[in-house]
């Protein structure tokens, strides 16, 4: 690799990395807000905040990295024109198309990272996050329960207090539970108890040697019972909107499925790295500018191009899932024209028009 190509590669990589860090921080802020909302609703245990944030950040990489690549390369190429470095390079025979090699050295690895995240890492992270939440429901310690502290049950269903808890979070002593449903108050105390699962998801508390008081506070009508052993179901977290979550399905499993939603998810995973590659190639001709032209105006243009492309991808995914588009069409109807446009712009960028013949 020539010295000038190593310089250009370093400039492109630094610009893309800086934009990627900024976008990742912004994306993590949005993920944190959503995750805090799920914790408040009881969907996710509070003790899994950091682990869930890290795993979910992998799922946004296929969306953020193409934008970071596009904006970073646009800024780097625009700086070459703005600082008149392209004029110097052109004077020694290094035109715009000679920038393609160092640009590909940045674009291809970035597209490979997007492909790895989209096809394998993001689904694996989603499955691991779901499994961690399910395992956390089996232990009060992971769910955020501490001895000597009142906590709120999932879904704001009541208040729970334990005076003692063992190391694995399944057995406890001196427990107090208060729940309210349809205006009726239910208070349970027990000397000891344990947490166990019934089936795969239902959680129950087995209480021993305690009292139960229930009634209507408005009517002052109460009933007290003493029990030697009692079982109480722990309310589940609010279910997700989409029970058939294909985002966590392995890519090889989607290949075996013939349903339209599975095909749409597979096409989406294939489209994101190809979109990153196309946007990286578009950055070279779109970054051209005059020495005194405003550099950051290109950022707005890049955002508009990226937003429109992603909107069309999302619409295409929805059309595929609904059966409006045939499976063979996929998302190629958007990717192929963009790739042809990028190729044409690369081929014509920096070429001078042929001299026109003038009649004598």
Nearest-angstrom CA–CA distance, 60 and 324:
27
The helix or strand, by DSSP H or E, that contains position 186, with its residue range, turns out to be strand 184-198
Nearest-angstrom CA–CA distance, 15 and 9:
10
DSSP state of 154: G
Q: How confident is the model at residue 242 (pLDDT cuts 50, 70, 90)?
A: very low
Q: Quote the pTM value.
A: 0.74
Nearest-angstrom CA–CA distance, 171 and 150:
17
Residue-level pLDDT at 240: 44
Q: Which residues of 165-189 are buried (b: 16+ CB within 10 A; e: fewer)?
A: beeebebbebbebbbeeeeebebbb
Of 119, 66, 71, residue with least CA distance to 335: 66
Nearest-angstrom CA–CA distance, 122 and 305:
25
What is the token pair recorded at 294?
Answer: 């405003």
Residue-level pLDDT at 329: 86
Q: How confident is the model at residue 66 (pLDDT cuts 50, 70, 90)?
A: very high
């Amino acid at each position: 690799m020539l010295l000038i190509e190593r310089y250009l590669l370093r400039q492109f990589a630094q610009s893309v990395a800086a934009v990627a860090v900024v976008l990742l921080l912004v994306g993590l802020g949005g993920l944190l807000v959503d995750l805090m909302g799920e914790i408040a609703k009881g969907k996710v245990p509070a003790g899994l905040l950091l682990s869930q944030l890290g795993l979910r950040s992998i799922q946004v990489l296929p969306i953020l990295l193409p934008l970071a690549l596009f904006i970073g390369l646009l800024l780097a190429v625009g700086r070459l024109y703005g600082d008149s470095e392209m004029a110097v390079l052109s004077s020694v025979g290094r035109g715009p198309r000679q920038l393609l090699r160092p640009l590909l050295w940045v674009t291809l690895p970035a597209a490979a990272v997007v492909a790895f995240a989209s096809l394998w890492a993001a689904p694996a992270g989603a499955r691991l996050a779901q499994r961690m939440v399910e395992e956390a429901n089996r232990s009060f310690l992971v769910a955020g329960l501490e001895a000597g502290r009142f906590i709120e049950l999932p879904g704001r269903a009541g208040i729970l207090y334990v005076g003692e808890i063992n190391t694995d979070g399944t057995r406890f002593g001196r427990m107090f539970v208060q729940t309210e449903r349809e205006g009726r108050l239910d208070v349970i105390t027990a000397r000891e108890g344990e947490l166990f699962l019934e089936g795969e998801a239902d959680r129950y508390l087995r209480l021993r040697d305690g009292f139960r008081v229930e009634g209507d506070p408005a009517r002052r009508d109460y009933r007290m019972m003493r029990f030697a052993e009692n079982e109480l179901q722990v309310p589940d977290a609010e279910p997700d909107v989409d029970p058939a979550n294909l985002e966590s399905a392995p890519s090889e499993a989607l290949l075996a499925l013939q349903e339209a939603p599975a095909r749409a998810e597979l096409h989406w995973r294939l489209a994101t790295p190809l979109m990153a590659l196309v946007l990286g190639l578009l950055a070279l001709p779109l970054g051209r500018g005059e020495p005194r032209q405003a550099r950051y105006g290109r950022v707005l243009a890049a955002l508009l191009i990226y937003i429109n492309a992603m909107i069309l991808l999302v619409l295409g995914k929805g059309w595929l899932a609904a059966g409006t588009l045939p499976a063979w069409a996929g998302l190629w109807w958007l990717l192929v024209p963009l790739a042809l446009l990028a190729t044409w712009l690369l081929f014509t960028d920096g070429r001078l028009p042929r001299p026109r013949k003038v009649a004598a």
